[in-house]
């Protein structure tokens, strides 16, 4: 019985929590104030550098795959 109540409370929290959370408003109302020719609806600030993060993620994924393949070969032929 206690488990059902706990699951119900957690489910109710997870369903209602996103309804109560709101993001902060965009700075300058979404307009870039320094754009040539007046304010435009461009994002404020530079773009996010994703190149290095992607390289790190791919390197770790390849290392994990090599480890899994190597581990299976050792276990299969070693025993």
DSSP three-state, residue 60: helix
- Strands (E) located in the chain: none
d(CA 74, CA 64): 15
Q: Are 37 and 54 in contact (CB under 8 A)?
A: no
Count of CA atoms in the C-beta half-sphere (13 A) of 46: 3
Residues 63 and 28 in one domain: no
Compute the residue count for the chain.
79
Is the CA virtual torsion 68, 73, 76, 79 positive or negative?
negative
Residue-wise pLDDT tens digits, 43-72: 666 666 667 778 889 999 999 998 888 776
Q: What is the pLDDT of residue 5?
A: 94
Asked if pLDDT for residue 6 goes beyond 80, the answer is yes
Whether residues 23 and 54 share a domain: the answer is no
- Please give the residue range of the domain that contains residue 23: 1-46
The SS3 assignment for 15 reads: helix
Q: Do both 36 and 13 map to the same domain?
A: yes
Quick one: 52 and 71 in the same domain? yes
The residue-averaged pLDDT of 5-30 equals 83
Query: How many domains does the chain divide into?
Result: 2
Q: Does the pLDDT of residue 10 top 80, yes or no?
A: yes
Mark whether 55 and 32 lie in a shared domain.
no
């Amino acid at each position: 019985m206690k488990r059902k109540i706990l699951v119900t409370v957690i489910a109710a929290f997870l369903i209602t929590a996103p309804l109560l959370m709101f993001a902060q408003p965009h700075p300058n109302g979404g307009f870039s104030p320094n754009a040539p020719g007046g304010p435009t609806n461009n994002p404020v600030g530079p773009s996010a550098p994703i190149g290095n993060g992607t390289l790190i993620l791919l390197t770790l994924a390849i290392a994990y795959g090599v480890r899994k393949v190597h581990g299976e070969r050792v276990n299969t032929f070693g025993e």
